[in-house]
A and B are shown apart, each in its own frame.
Chain A
């Protein structure tokens, strides 16, 4: 068995079991029926919904897309029937591949149906609209932070260390980032903040690595305690330092850096090419981590260490060193994620990451420990986080507090029902003792 064989053990794709396929298909059918009945026939016969695409800064746009106005009832009935059709197709044919892609499609259609239903206006009076571009921009902030966190998780867990302290690294990065960006407070402040955030996150990762690699402590315990520690430390420092010295917490937002020309493309332009530097950094990081993990010799070593450390050690790979490097780099990525969060939210507040680090962890699991999968999962969670805060501005007869549960409930549903028994790297979370 060569190193490559060991490292690629994770890549042997186990086909989705047919029982689970049926469960997913049933969920799709239920969602389709619910959409057609509740969002379709549940809205008035002459209700209209409108979707607009205006970029946020419309003066720069060379051309504008007009509003799309549709009849709520029949649009949603059709959308529901499409979902129903997809569900029945999966149930009957049980395709070997593409089940999750179809499920993703159903989720997206459901989101549109939900929004059409939320903004419906009865009669020919003024029609409320929802701005698709604004929705995507808003979701991209949460998605970006989740991608940073999920990448951090991929880095650590591919080498066999469970990093549950992502939330703590977010908190540390956000705090340090806010202080540094406020002190420097110039054009370069967020570059400095990102570097300091990476250092802080990397140090937290180093502490995790030190305790769990050198002293073989339980990684989940250390991670959970680190999150508690960072949470209370940030609260302490907030009262002790930031409150008396508000100049340390100005809450500047990172300025958008529009990519020339490209940012004028409708919908895509504002979402992908008019973002802060952190967004572009995230895209670069996804590419770099993917490439490094799957196309380089070092990545091969990392995956071998995560699957079978004893075998990796036999062929001369320094297991402990690989794990140290990956956990520290992973911590640094999560630290930058914390700065990115702060740079899109403003002033540091205690507890304002509200569990995003854990959702990122779930995104990593849902993405099956791959950067690309983590991105897809992060988009899904990011949109649901943003929607839960946005839907309340429309006439939705659901309490704000119920809406706030959705991202977490979706996470549970995803971890429980849809992915089932995923296979993590074989040595994930198991201490390695070299004798």
Chain B
């Protein structure tokens, strides 16, 4: 509509359904992938919940049994997804209560605050992974880099003592440096020896976990008087304080400004800066980049410094905004933000704003998963399964369109420049 308004000379042309689909293709595929992911989750709940299986087992016992089994099935899945929604976005009944009585706003807003708290470091890490993807570099080591960022940042945050205005930036900078140190390794190795970054970064993740355990049991970082793997507590002056005050009960914190700054930086870097342009050319067409005089080695090292630095920043933001110390299970396992960041970057198509929306969605799934485990007993790992399923569907848009019989549409497949081991 706005097109025709601004260019009155062009003849007005009705857009066909197909054209409308094409213009919204990416969004539609993502939405359908989300739906399919939830279907996969529902199937998993159905096939693993004892109550549901019992109901289906009694299917032939009476005429009403199949209907009953279906009801139990839908109730179980519904309860799980409802508690996910209530726990990550808003509980409608609580919201109505707050609205009518003016009380209980803290409880009502807690889910959203938790989702934002979870999303803040996720956005930062995912943008780091996304920038690498746009350059054709696969940084699977974001989790290890975040762990190093956490170690460096908590060291500065707990051992130096100074006013907040200096301490917070210094702590965050230490996190960035930690991530950069860990990111520099695969970057330099890829540039100068040709070692494939996928293997190197995966191995460095495991090295980082051992390093974390080593650091947590070392006299330098271990909480004095503790035998467990727990670090010193960061000074309050180095923590990212809650946005609405420490007594508000809401954990959403000043880290949100850090991630907004990172998003703006990423937009400027990728769309406006000349280095960012070199990055994208390298990712889109390595041989064209070489022909136009872009130094591939410098680009690889720089990508890993930026990507690792952002992952490190995410690690320290995570620590400084939630538990102001490190423990043995900091970012360990498939729930580590570095791994979620890979899927978020893919879902957000490696664009800064796409990553923001994808982070919010995956943060909601993660927080909601925890709420679901609390209320229905269904393990929160289901959220990660759903996330992976969504990304698999997003990575195969043609499949999604075939399932929903969408024809006449272009497919902008997620294309990366990863070309096996030889690149």
Partner of A361, one of B44, B189, B199: B199
In the complex, what's the smallest C-beta–C-beta distance from A178 to chain B, in angstroms? 16
Are B395's CB and A225's CB within 8 A? yes
Does residue A391 face the partner (Cβ distance < 8 Å to B)? no
Does residue B92 face the partner (Cβ distance < 8 Å to A)? no
Please name 7 pairs of A and B residues whose Cβ atoms are closer than 8 Å in the assembled complex, sorted by A.
A211-B392, A225-B391, A228-B388, A235-B333, A240-B378, A415-B196, A429-B418
Are A409's CB and B207's CB within 8 A? yes
Are B334's CB and A355's CB within 8 A? no
Stretch at the interface among A212-220, A265-273, A322-330, A370-378: A212-220
Are A221's CB and B196's CB within 8 A? no
Main secondary structure of the interface of B (DSSP, over half): helix
Does residue A423 face the partner (Cβ distance < 8 Å to B)? yes
Partner of A420, one of B194, B335, B382, B418: B194
Instruction: Name the residue of chain A whose CB is nearest to the CB of B200.
Output: A412
In the complex, what's the smallest C-beta–C-beta distance from B13 to chain A, in angstroms? 33
Partner of A225, one of B205, B207, B213, B388: B388
Are B421's CB and A211's CB within 8 A? no
Residues of chain A lying within 8 A (CB to CB) of residue B203? 355, 358-359, 362, 408-409, 411-412, 415
A114 to B95 Cα, complex, angstroms: 66
Are B211's CB and A162's CB within 8 A? no
A241 to B195 Cα, complex, angstroms: 41
Does residue A90 face the partner (Cβ distance < 8 Å to B)? no
A31 to B43 Cα, complex, angstroms: 55
Does residue A417 face the partner (Cβ distance < 8 Å to B)? yes
B179-211: CB near A (< 8 Å → 1, else 0) gives 000000100010001111011101111110011
A409 to B385 Cα, complex, angstroms: 30
Instruction: Name the residue of chain B whose CB is nearest to the CB of A243.
Output: B379
Does residue B357 face the partner (Cβ distance < 8 Å to A)? no
Residues of chain B lying within 8 A (CB to CB) of residue A225? 342-343, 346, 388, 391-392, 395
Residues of chain B lying within 8 A (CB to CB) of residue A232? 334-335, 381-382, 384-385, 388
Residues of chain A lying within 8 A (CB to CB) of residue B195? 412, 415-416
Are B396's CB and A411's CB within 8 A? no
Does residue A256 face the partner (Cβ distance < 8 Å to B)? no
Residue of A211, A359, A405, A430 ringed by the most chain B CB atoms within 10 A: A405
Instruction: Name the residue of chain B whose CB is nearest to the CB of A388.
Output: B210
A225 to B418 Cα, complex, angstroms: 15
Q: Kindly list the 4 A-B residue pairs having the minimum CB-CB distance in the complex, ordered from nearest.
A: A429-B420, A232-B384, A229-B388, A401-B214
Does residue A399 face the partner (Cβ distance < 8 Å to B)? yes
Are A228's CB and B339's CB within 8 A? yes
Partner of A228, one of B198, B217, B334, B418: B334
In the complex, what's the smallest C-beta–C-beta distance from A193 to chain B, in angstroms? 20
**With contact pairs A162-B421, A235-B379, A429-B420 given, residues A228 and B384 touching in the complex (Cβ less than 8 Å):** yes
Q: Which of B381-422 contact A (CB under 8 A)?
A: 381-382, 384-385, 387-389, 391-392, 395-396, 398-399, 413-416, 418-422
Residues of chain B lying within 8 A (CB to CB) of residue A399? 214, 217
Are B418's CB and A220's CB within 8 A? yes
Does residue A198 face the partner (Cβ distance < 8 Å to B)? no
In the complex, what's the smallest C-beta–C-beta distance from B395 to chain A, in angstroms? 5
A54 to B285 Cα, complex, angstroms: 60
Residues of chain A lying within 8 A (CB to CB) of residue B346? 221, 225
Are A408's CB and B213's CB within 8 A? no
Extra pairs beyond A224-B342, A231-B333, A429-B418 (8, CB < 8 Å): A216-B398, A221-B391, A221-B414, A225-B346, A231-B384, A235-B379, A412-B189, A415-B196
Does residue A236 face the partner (Cβ distance < 8 Å to B)? yes
Residues of chain A lying within 8 A (CB to CB) of residue B382? 232, 236
A162 to B198 Cα, complex, angstroms: 12
A235 to B413 Cα, complex, angstroms: 31
A241 to B422 Cα, complex, angstroms: 42
Residues of chain B lying within 8 A (CB to CB) of residue A4? none
A359 to B395 Cα, complex, angstroms: 26
Are B198's CB and A211's CB within 8 A? no
Residues of chain B lying within 8 A (CB to CB) of residue A402? 210, 214
Are A236's CB and B379's CB within 8 A? yes
Q: Which of A212-263 contact B (CB under 8 A)?
A: 215-222, 224-226, 228-229, 231-233, 235-237, 239-241, 244
Does residue A351 face the partner (Cβ distance < 8 Å to B)? yes
Are B210's CB and A358's CB within 8 A? no
Does residue A52 face the partner (Cβ distance < 8 Å to B)? no
Main secondary structure of the interface of A (DSSP, over half): helix
Instruction: Name the residue of chain A whose CB is nearest to the CB of B50.
Output: A244
A162-181: CB near B (< 8 Å → 1, else 0) gives 10100000000000000000
A229 to B396 Cα, complex, angstroms: 16
Does residue B279 face the partner (Cβ distance < 8 Å to A)? no
In the complex, what's the smallest C-beta–C-beta distance from B379 to chain A, in angstroms? 4
Are B395's CB and A405's CB within 8 A? no
A344 to B189 Cα, complex, angstroms: 35
Residues of chain A lying within 8 A (CB to CB) of residue B379? 235-236, 239-240
Are B199's CB and A362's CB within 8 A? yes
Partner of B206, one of A229, A235, A408, A422: A408
Are A240's CB and B48's CB within 8 A? yes
Are A235's CB and B207's CB within 8 A? no
In the complex, what's the smallest C-beta–C-beta distance from A167 to chain B, in angstroms? 9
In the complex, what's the smallest C-beta–C-beta distance from A427 to chain B, in angstroms? 8
Residues of chain A lying within 8 A (CB to CB) of residue B49? 240
A398-433: CB near B (< 8 Å → 1, else 0) gives 010110110011011001110011111010111000
Residues of chain B lying within 8 A (CB to CB) of residue A424? 420-422
A225 to B345 Cα, complex, angstroms: 12
Does residue A14 face the partner (Cβ distance < 8 Å to B)? no
Are B420's CB and A241's CB within 8 A? no
Are B385's CB and A236's CB within 8 A? yes
Are A233's CB and B385's CB within 8 A? yes
Partner of A221, one of B199, B334, B389, B395: B395
Residues of chain B lying within 8 A (CB to CB) of residue A233? 44, 381, 385
In the complex, what's the smallest C-beta–C-beta distance from B101 to chain A, in angstroms? 38
Does residue B81 face the partner (Cβ distance < 8 Å to A)? no
Are B210's CB and A229's CB within 8 A? no
**With contact pairs A232-B388, A412-B195 given, residues A351 and B399 touching in the complex (Cβ less than 8 Å):** no
A211 to B267 Cα, complex, angstroms: 31
Instruction: Name the residue of chain A whose CB is nearest to the CB of B346.
Output: A221
A428 to B423 Cα, complex, angstroms: 11
Are A401's CB and B44's CB within 8 A? no
A417 to B190 Cα, complex, angstroms: 11
Does residue B140 face the partner (Cβ distance < 8 Å to A)? yes
A416 to B185 Cα, complex, angstroms: 10
**With contact pairs A233-B385, A235-B334 given, residues A217 and B395 touching in the complex (Cβ less than 8 Å):** yes
Are B211's CB and A421's CB within 8 A? no
In the complex, what's the smallest C-beta–C-beta distance from A65 to chain B, in angstroms? 36
In the complex, what's the smallest C-beta–C-beta distance from A230 to chain B, in angstroms? 9
**With contact pairs A232-B334, A416-B193 given, residues A429 and B419 touching in the complex (Cβ less than 8 Å):** yes
Residues of chain B lying within 8 A (CB to CB) of residue A228? 334, 339, 342-343, 384, 387-388
Residues of chain A lying within 8 A (CB to CB) of residue B199? 358, 361-362, 365, 411-412, 415
